[in-house]
Structure 1
Amino acid sequence: MQRLEKLAATKLGAVQHDVFGMCRKLIRTLDESPVFALRTALELQCIDIPHLPTSLRKCALMATVDSPRKRRWLQKHKWVCWSGPCEVINLGDGIQCTSPVCTWAMFAHWLPLSELVQLGDAMMRRDPQLRKVSLEDFERYLARWEYYVRSRRNLGERCRAFRGITKCRRALRLMQPNTDSMPETVMRLVLQQFGIHRAQVNWTVKDEKGYVVAVLDAAYVGAKTDLEYNGEYHKNQRLQDAARTQDLNARGWTVIEVTKEDLQSLKAQQRFVKRVATVLKRRDPSHEYSVRKNPMSLWEVSDGRRSEWRNTNKRYF
Structure 2
Amino acid sequence: MDGIPLGASYTWKEARARGVTRGQIALDGLPIARGLYVSRAFAPTLAVRCRAWTKLLPPDATFGLETAAALLGAQLRPPAAVQIVLRPRPVLPRRGGLQVHVRDLREDDVVVEDGLRITSGAQTFLDLAARLPPAELVAVGDALMRAGHLTADELSARLARADGVRGVTRGRACAPLLTPEAQSRPESLVRYWIHIAGLPLPTPQVPVRDRWGREIVHADLGYEEWKVALEYEGRQHADPEQFGRDIDRYSLMGADGWLLLRYAGRHLARPATIVDRTERALRSRGWRR
CA distance in 2, matches of 1:30, 1:259: 43
Residues 16-27 of structure 1 aligned to structure 2 (within 5 Å):
18-27=45-54
Q: Aligned pair 1:185/2:207, yes or no?
A: no
Q: Between the two proteins, what is the percent identity of the paired residues?
A: 23
Letter in 2 for 1:25: A
Cα distance in 2 for partners of 1:271, 1:43 equals: 29
Instruction: Note the C-alpha offset of 1:213.
Output: 0.8
- Report the Cα distance in structure 1 between the residues aligned to 2:43 and 2:142, rounded to whole angstroms: 19
Structure 1: which 5+ residue stretches go unaligned?
Answer: 1-14, 51-55, 147-159, 290-317
In 1, distance between residues paired with 2:213 and 2:277?
Answer: 32
CA separation of 1:252 and 1:70: change in aligned 2, threshold 3 A:
farther
What corresponds to 1:303 in structure 2?
A: none
Q: Which residue of 2 aligns with 1:236?
A: 241
The alignment status of 1:91 with 2:94, answered yes or no, reads no
Instruction: Sort the Cα spacing of 1:271 and 1:168 in 2 relative to 1 into closer, same or farther, 3 A.
Output: closer
Q: Aligned equivalents of 1:236 and 1:98: distance in 2?
A: 40
2:122 matched to which residue of 1? Answer: 101
What number of residue pairs does the alignment pair up?
Answer: 245
CA-to-partner distance for each residue in 1:176-211, whole Å, 9 max, x for gaps? 331011111111222233332211222223346664
Structure 2: state its 5+ residue gaps: 1-41
User: Does the residue aligned with 2:45 lie in a helix, a strand or coil?
Assistant: helix
Structure 1 residue 133: Cα displacement: 2.2
> In the TM superposition, what are the counterparts of 1:140-219 in structure 2 within 5 Å?
140-143=157-160, 145-146=161-162, 161-207=164-210, 211-219=214-222
- Tell me how far 1:122 sits from its aligned partner: 1.3
SS in 1 for 2:225: helix
Query: Match of 1:272, SS?
Result: helix
Structure in which a larger fraction of residues adopt strand: 2
Displacement of 1:62 after TM fit?
Answer: 1.3
8 Å Cα contact 1:205/1:213 also seen in 2:
yes
Q: Which one has the bigger helix percentage?
A: 1
Stretch of structure 1 that moved more, 101-110 or 132-141: 132-141
Query: 1:279 & 1:92 partners in 2: Cα distance?
Result: 46
Task: Give 1:288-307 correspondences, 5 Å limit.
Answer: 288-289=288-289
Inter-partner Cα distance in structure 2 for 1:116 and 1:16: 29
| In 1: Cα distance, 2:129 partner to 2:89 partner | 19
The answer as to whether partners of 1:37 and 1:103 remain within 8 angstroms in 2 is yes
SS of 1:217's equivalent in the other structure is strand
| Aligned 8 A contact 1:225 1:280 in 2 | yes
Larger RCO (CA under 8 A, 6+ residues apart)? 1
Residue 134 of structure 1 pairs with residue 151 of structure 2: yes
Matched to 1:239, the amino acid is G
Q: What does residue range 48-87 of structure 1 map to in structure 2 within 5 Å?
A: 48-49=75-76, 57-59=79-81, 61-67=82-88, 69-85=90-106, 87=109
**RMSD after superposition:** 2.5
The normalised TM-score by structure 2 is: 0.75
CA contact (8 A) 1:27 1:33 kept: no
Range with greater deviation from structure 2 (188-197 or 224-233): 188-197
Using the size of structure 1 for normalisation, the TM-score is 0.69
Against the structure 1 CA distance between its residues 28 and 256, is the aligned structure 2 distance closer, same or farther, given a 3 Å change threshold?
same
Could you tell me which residue of structure 2 aligns to residue 42 of structure 1?
69
The 2-side partners of 1:92 and 1:198 are apart by: 37
Find the counterpart in structure 1 of residue 31 from structure 2: none
- Structure 1 distance, partners of 2:47, 2:288, is 52
Report the Cα distance in structure 1 between the residues aligned to 2:284 and 2:51, rounded to whole angstroms.
58
Give per-residue Cα distances to partners, 1:226-261, cap 9 Å, x unaligned.
Answer: 111111222322221111011111222221111222
* SS of match in other structure, 2:234: coil
Q: Match of 1:280? A: 282
Distance, in Å, in 1 between the alignment partners of 2:134 and 2:118 is 24
Q: Secondary structure in 2 aligned to 1:198? A: coil
Amino acid at match of 2:231: E
Cα deviations by residue, 1:2-43 (Å, 9 ceiling, x for unpaired): xxxxxxxxxxxxx99822322232222345352111222223
C-alpha distance 90-263 of structure 1, shift in aligned 2 (>3 A): closer
Equivalent residues in 2 for 1:2-17 (5 A)? none
Q: Which residue of 2 aligns with 1:313?
A: none
Deviation at 1:80?
0.4
